[in-house]
Structure 1
Amino acid sequence: MYIEKNMEGDSVGYLHGEVRSLKRSLHRFTIAVTVLSVVVVAIFIALIAVGASQHNSIKNLKQKAGTIEDPKVAFATGFGDRNIEGFNYGGSLFRGSGFWSTRKALPGNLTDHAAVGYNEENVFIIGGANASGSVTNEVWMYDAIFHNYTKKAPMPEPRYRFGAALVNDKIYVVGGRNSSADENEAMTKSTFIYDIQKDAWSKGKDSFEYHSDTCADSLDGKVYMIGGYGQDYLYLDVAEVYDPEQNEWTRLTNMPTARGDLMCVAAAGEIYALGGYYNNLANPNDSFSSKMESYDPKSMKWTSRPDLLTPRGDAGIVLLPGDKIMLIGGEGHYKNQSDFKYPKHVNEVYYVTDQTWVEKAMIPTARFRTAAAQIGGLAYVFGGADLCINSPVCPALDTAEIYLDVDHPHVYIYLKNEPSYNDNAPLSIYPF
């Protein structure tokens, strides 16, 4: 009996202890919750106070605009060619960006050819003139994955100094010459159509006019051919468009500036015509054009655009992703002497949305009468002509190079009291 009572007492004591322990834990928890609540409320009050302070600071800064006396520099995004009042445009903060790399050389030296990108993996290199100056009808397909060239079905006849454009799975070759002779008989109006899937050529309707040293690109399923030289090397302002479905050519509104050896590309719903060689009445010794004009098929009107940074003709041209027109290399005349043709290293990109030109990393191998194509967001440049001094046949190149553009925030700099500074000025007296 005594043992049972003793055990009962121990159990009661144990329970009392547990209850006291639970009460102490609950008390500590209550204190912790209270403290935490106080801390949260304090932080919240502090944030409100900081926000109010920052708001007042920002408000005060706005009210005190111009307290930095006589600032020497300003920055802007977009429209870098437009002036900020009291400042001069100084250029972009991403001048000289981008990277070049060498790729496998062409099977032979080539100038005055065309390059057309296809399916993000292949470039078709068409026609041109070889090292001896003979015009070819050869077609090569470059594989950007395996870095090799495959010979494809040749054109029906030799062709160089022509335009080429891709519509779906077909390449359209327009204008140009079928021999290197300077006579008018070498000019052609024929339209050749290459079916990539069938590896076969067919013939379309002839164009209205002869276009030598012309350019072409496609937009909304149609092929646009712009400018060039007519018979007797007259400068052309003629523009035509070919409709593959109707097999018909249509005359367009004439280009404002007649010129040959020009470059063109489709961008942002318009056809852009750039540079070239023209009859500069104001300065006959400086006839490479810096003009850029665009044609809008909807309004059927031409619009003047910001001039090229470097006047030139026979350059490579591609459209990079983001509506960026890239102009690579090109021809210049040393000291304005037409017998001294030199190739340019310069590489410039026009940002259509910003209406601004920016100089990018120069191409390692200077060249003109070259061809370029964009696949996979990269620019591929094939062949071209080297330095040409008083020679009827310019040395042809077989080099191939690839460019990776590095995009940056589109920030432009404006300077005050430095009117002579030009971010796009030549880096050297050497004619790049």
Structure 2
Amino acid sequence: MAMNRACHPIFLVLLALLPTRGLPQNAAVELPQLTVRDSVPLKKTGEFHMLEKRFAAAAVAVGPYVYVIGGQGGTGKILSSIERFDTRTGQSVAFAALKTPRLWHRAVVFGRKIYILGGASSVAGSAGQINMTSRRDLVRTRPGANRNAVASDLVSEASFEGGQPLGLQRLIETLDVDTAEVTTTGNMPEARSEFGCVVIDDKLYVIGGKRTYRKTRLARTNRVAIYDLSAKKWSEGIPAPLATLGDATVVDGPFVVVAGGYDGTHTSDTVFL
């Protein structure tokens, strides 16, 4: 098919994470090729500033407020501070602080609470400090989950100097937006950073990202963990098609939409649901 040079192809893969009408559960289906323009015109409405310079922070919106959480500061320090930006006034104020400073973590909203998950508590646990020569370990999922699904880790061959711990976090903290109270809630099944994370109904999905491998190595994984926020229990989900980092993840109706990512060597243009 002839394509305009101003467009890029996006190939879609459908991953049925949830039961949906008209689609077999656990199905993977290729969808038609779409095109997206190189640029979409944006209108600048104003320029505002946070209280602190931040990199690799998490941010969520609750009502008129945007909560900017943790990250790495301008001096290289890992931040615990949380600031609240008011979209009506353009003003940002200090709001609360994490119990554990972190970057490359994720935050999602459930009710009047913000869940802050995973991330790295040191720069050693962040990207760009490992040899990108990799190999792939394949592990079959438990019987009955999906016979065709394979959980896969793309593992760095190089260990860190001195075998230092990677600093990845399992910790989950919650922020009550009404009281500004931060509480340690529990742990993820394994430490991860740079993963996709969304909430649908009362289920929280942790998709892919970076995990530790044999204590001194990093793995990019396609494993999916699901947390039932009502029952407070974790379960294993269907593995994603790709083992990538930094996925842009959103909810569209009953689907989790994951766009792009990085596998340690290549940047992906794949979108899967």
Query: 2-side partners of 1:282 and 1:209: how far apart?
Result: 20
Equivalent of 2:115, from 224, 228, 237? Answer: 224
Letter in structure 2 aligned against 1:274: I
Based on CA coordinates, which of the two structures has the bigger radius of gyration?
1
Partner of 1:295: 227
Query: 1-side partners of 2:201 and 2:249: how far apart?
Result: 15
Q: Does 1:102 align with 2:47?
A: no
Q: Give the deviation of 1:180 after TM superposition.
A: 7.2
Query: 2-side partners of 1:218 and 1:100: how far apart?
Result: 32
Q: Does 1:177 align with 2:110?
A: no
Letter in structure 1 aligned against 2:55: Y
Query: 2-side partners of 1:100 and 1:166: how far apart?
Result: 29
> What does the per-residue CA deviation read over 1:391-422, in whole Å, with 9 as the maximum and x for residues that have no partner?
xxxxxxxxxxxxxxxxxxxxxxxxxxxxxxxx
Instruction: Give me the CA root mean square deviation.
Output: 2.4
Letter in structure 1 aligned against 2:179: Q
SS, match of residue 154 in structure 1: coil
> What does the per-residue CA deviation read over 1:311-359, in whole Å, with 9 as the maximum and x for residues that have no partner?
1111211111x2211111111123xxxxxxx21111111xxxxxxxxxx
> What does the per-residue CA deviation read over 1:94-119, in whole Å, with 9 as the maximum and x for residues that have no partner?
x23363422646xxxxxxxxxxxxxx
Q: Is the 8 A contact 2:95 2:180 kept in 1?
A: yes
> What does the per-residue CA deviation read over 1:133-172, in whole Å, with 9 as the maximum and x for residues that have no partner?
xxxxxxxxxxxxx731233321011111011111111111
Q: Report matched runs for 1:407-426 at 5 Å.
A: none
Query: 1-side partners of 2:37 and 2:174: how far apart?
Result: 36
Q: Is the 8 A contact 1:172 1:223 kept in 2?
A: no
Equivalent of 2:25, from 54, 60, 80? Answer: 80
Query: 2-side partners of 1:305 and 1:252: how far apart?
Result: 21
Equivalent of 2:214, from 256, 281, 298? Answer: 281
Q: Report matched runs for 1:33-432 at 5 Å.
A: 77-81=22-26, 91-92=28-29, 95-97=30-32, 99-102=34-37, 104=39, 147-179=42-74, 181=76, 186-231=77-122, 232-233=124-125, 234-281=167-214, 287-320=219-252, 322-334=253-265, 342-349=266-273
Letter in structure 1 aligned against 2:57: F
Query: 1-side partners of 2:101 and 2:24: how far apart?
Result: 38
> What does the per-residue CA deviation read over 1:269-322, in whole Å, with 9 as the maximum and x for residues that have no partner?
2221111111123995x71011111222222222221111101111211111x2
- The structure that is helix-richer by fraction is 1
Q: Is the 8 A contact 1:235 1:258 kept in 2?
A: yes
Query: 1-side partners of 2:179 and 2:229: how far apart?
Result: 17
Q: Give the deviation of 1:268 after TM superposition.
A: 2.1
Letter in structure 1 aligned against 2:104: D
Query: 2-side partners of 1:178 and 1:98: how far apart?
Result: 40
Query: 1-side partners of 2:33 and 2:202: how far apart?
Result: 26
SS, match of residue 197 in structure 2: strand
Query: 1-side partners of 2:53 and 2:103: how far apart?
Result: 14
Query: 2-side partners of 1:149 and 1:103: how far apart?
Result: 19
Query: 1-side partners of 2:168 and 2:45: how far apart?
Result: 37
SS, match of residue 279 in structure 1: strand
- Gaps in structure 2 of 5+ consecutive residues: 1-20, 126-166
Q: Is the 8 A contact 2:64 2:87 kept in 1?
A: yes
Letter in structure 1 aligned against 2:255: K
SS, match of residue 325 in structure 1: strand
Query: 2-side partners of 1:282 and 1:207: how far apart?
Result: 25
Q: Is the 8 A contact 1:167 1:222 kept in 2?
A: no
Letter in structure 2 aligned against 1:214: H
Letter in structure 1 aligned against 2:257: M
Q: Is the 8 A contact 2:247 2:261 kept in 1?
A: yes
- Gaps in structure 1 of 5+ consecutive residues: 1-75, 82-88, 106-145, 335-341, 350-432
More contact order relative to length (CA 8 Å, sep ≥ 6): 1
TM normalised by structure 2 equals 0.71
**Structure 1 residues 177 and 283: CA distance shift in structure 2, 3 A:** closer
Q: Is the 8 A contact 2:202 2:230 kept in 1?
A: no
- The structure that is strand-richer by fraction is 2
SS, match of residue 225 in structure 2: strand
Q: Percent identity?
A: 18
Query: 2-side partners of 1:283 and 1:309: how far apart?
Result: 26
